[in-house]
Amino acid sequence: MPVKVDKTPIRDAVVLTPAVFEDARGFFTEVYRADQFKELGLPETFRQWNHSRSVRNVLRGLHFQWDQPMAKLMRVTLGEAFLVAVDIRKGSPTLGKHFSIIASAENKKMVFAPAGFARGFCVLSDYAEIQYLCTGVYNSKTESGIRWNDPALAIPWPVTKPILSAKDEKAQTLAEWLARPESSSFKY
């Protein structure tokens, strides 16, 4: 059974729910299949696989990378998290718009957001593990972020006082990012 694809209000970003086969022993699911992704018009090749674990109220993001722009396929493998993707592509009719879902180990929903999106998450359970496949390799010199609480984004985060990294506390606004020459790396 193929993966179920739900469109989001933002072109090119989708929510994927894989078929799950359960019995008394547990479950089995195909998280990624190159042939299915090709049929869906999604990347067939991922170059890096990340896995993070965070405690309740940790908010990571909104992150992106402009040189080796990377798409990400995000999933929660333990616990529950609020996943967010923000369109930062110049010329996009949805520039600055976001979509979000609650993903969990139980519902197995995944978010695919192409390059040109800033992505982040907030942990809703006591702890959560998030895994994400990336189409590019991490480059610390060309990474950046958008401030999680930028009023221009109006993201309804499920936490008012998140636990943030020092880097995320100092992140720029979307307007500041768009004023930088590197922002032209993402065009609609």
pLDDT truncated to tens, each residue of the chain (188 aa)?
578 899 999 999 999 998 888 889 988 888 888 888 888 888 888 999 999 999 999 999 999 999 989 999 999 999 999 999 999 999 999 999 999 999 999 999 999 999 999 999 999 999 999 999 999 999 999 999 999 999 999 999 999 999 999 999 999 999 999 999 999 998 77
Of 51, 63, 138, 188, catalytic: 63
- Residue 132 annotated among the catalytic residues of the structure: yes
Of 51, 132, 138, 188, catalytic: 132
97 C-beta neighbours (distance < 10 Å), count: 17
CATH classification of 4-183 is 2.60.120.10, yes or no?
yes
Question: Domain residue spans in the chain?
Answer: 4-183
Whole-structure pTM value: 0.92
CA pair distance 4, 185, nearest whole angstrom: 31
- Residue 98 annotated among the catalytic residues of the structure: no
Q: Where on the phi/psi map is residue 116: left (φ > 0), alpha (ψ -120 to 50), or beta? A: left
